[in-house]
Structure 1
Amino acid sequence: MCQHTPPCPTAEASDREAARPTVAHPEQGWSLLCNGVLLFEDTGELLPDGQIVAPHRPVALAAGSTA
């Protein structure tokens, strides 16, 4: 799908979110990447094969907690 040089990561690649957006609808909370991945603002993804990737936004530590 990607026509960029060098090509963007494929939908199967671990860095698939680095692909360039082809359509962006921030008011609706999603973007379509050139590798066919539908990326949502909560970091969830819908892959071209229908597989769902759960949101993976980093969780902030509570104030005063120790790690």
Structure 2
Amino acid sequence: MCQHQPPCPSADSNDREAARLTAHHPEQGWSLLCNGVLLFEDTGELLPDGQIIAPHRPLKSGQVMKAA
């Protein structure tokens, strides 16, 4: 899918968010990366194979996660 040199990270790599933007719609809250990943403003992702990656925003400094 990616024609860049060097190629962007693939959709199944850990650094997939480093791929270049091909479409950016901040008013709708999403961007399409050249590896086919849909990246949402809440940091969630939809991979080309349909897999959903839950939002993974970093915690603010001093914030602690509560156990579910």
TM-score, normalised to structure 2's length?
Answer: 0.88
> Could you say which structure has the larger radius of gyration?
1
* Unpaired segments ≥5 residues, structure 1: 63-67
Aligned to 1:24, what secondary structure does the other structure show?
strand
Matches of 1:59 and 1:28, distance apart in 2: 24
Aligned length: 62
- Verify: 1:16 aligned to 2:16, yes or no: yes
Name the SS of the counterpart of 1:22 in structure 2: strand
User: Take 1:7 and 1:28, find their aligned partners in 2: how far apart are those partners?
Assistant: 27
Letter in 1 for 2:24: A
Deviations 1:6-58 (A, max 9, x none): 00000000000000010000110000000000000110000000000000001
1:30 and 1:50 map into 2 onto residues whose CA distance is 16
- Structure 1 segments, 4+ long, off by >3 Å, are none
1:35 paired with 2:35, answer yes
Question: Could you tell me the percent identity over the aligned residues?
Answer: 79
Segments of 5+ residues of structure 2 without an aligned counterpart are 64-68
Counterpart of 1:55 in structure 2 is: 55
Specify the SS of the correspondent of 1:7: coil
TM-align CA RMSD:
0.7
